[in-house]
């Protein structure tokens, strides 16, 4: 496969994002609330003269919420259909290479993880859940609708 993956932690779980989907990794400090936005939209932020819609990954997975009010938040910036999003994660670890193509997960993970899962991908550090960033931006509410 030889695809590069960004290893991040979301809700205490190490997972992988396709590195080709990630423009940058940033620290966000100020979020502007968006009235009537979906619950997993934490707010808006600015980065290099661009407006970012900030997604709380924990909320997008229906796993509680991130503590966005206590200072800096680590985020992976992605672009989907011309719109920029910052995905708030617990931490960013490293970039690794996938050894093989993703394989289906053969266990119950919960509705949030199942909604965003592409499959398990093997790396030098072991198997990681590969995340569909588009599904993460949609949030688990999109599946229920």
pLDDT band of residue 22 (cuts 50, 70, 90) is very high
Q: What percent of the chain has pLDDT over 90?
A: 77
Q: Total structural domains in the chain?
A: 1
CATH of the domain at 101: 2.40.50.180
Q: State phi, psi for 133 to the nearest 5 degrees.
A: -65, -30
Q: How many CB atoms lie within 10 A of CB 29?
A: 9
Rg of the Cα trace of the chain?
15
3-class secondary-structure state, position 110: coil
Using CA atoms, how far residue 102 sits from 8, 38, 105, 115, in Å, is: 17, 30, 9, 15
The DSSP line for 15-79 is: EEEEGGGEEEEEEE---B--TT--TTEEEEEEETTEEEEEEEHHHHTTS----TTSS-EEEEEEE
What is the per-residue pLDDT for 103? 96
Give pLDDT tens digits for 76-133. 999 999 999 999 999 999 999 999 999 999 989 999 999 999 999 999 989 999 999 9
Residue ranges making up the domain that contains 116:
4-144
Alpha-carbon distances, residue 71 vs 25, 26, 119 (angstroms): 16, 13, 33
């Amino acid at each position: 496969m030889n695809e590069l993956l960004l290893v991040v932690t979301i809700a205490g779980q190490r997972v992988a994002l396709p590195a080709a989907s990630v423009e940058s990794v940033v620290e966000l400090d100020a979020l502007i609330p968006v009235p009537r936005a979906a619950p997993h939209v934490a707010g808006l932020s600015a980065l290099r003269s661009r407006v970012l819609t900030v997604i709380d990954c924990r909320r997008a997975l229906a796993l509680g919420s991130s503590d966005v009010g206590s200072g800096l938040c680590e985020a992976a910036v992605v672009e989907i259909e011309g719109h920029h999003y910052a995905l708030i994660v617990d931490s960013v670890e490293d970039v690794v290479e996938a050894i093989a193509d993703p394989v289906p997960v053969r266990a119950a993970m919960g509705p949030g993880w199942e909604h965003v899962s592409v499959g398990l991908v093997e790396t030098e550090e072991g198997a990681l859940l590969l995340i569909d960033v588009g599904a993460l931006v949609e949030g688990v509410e999109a599946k229920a609708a």
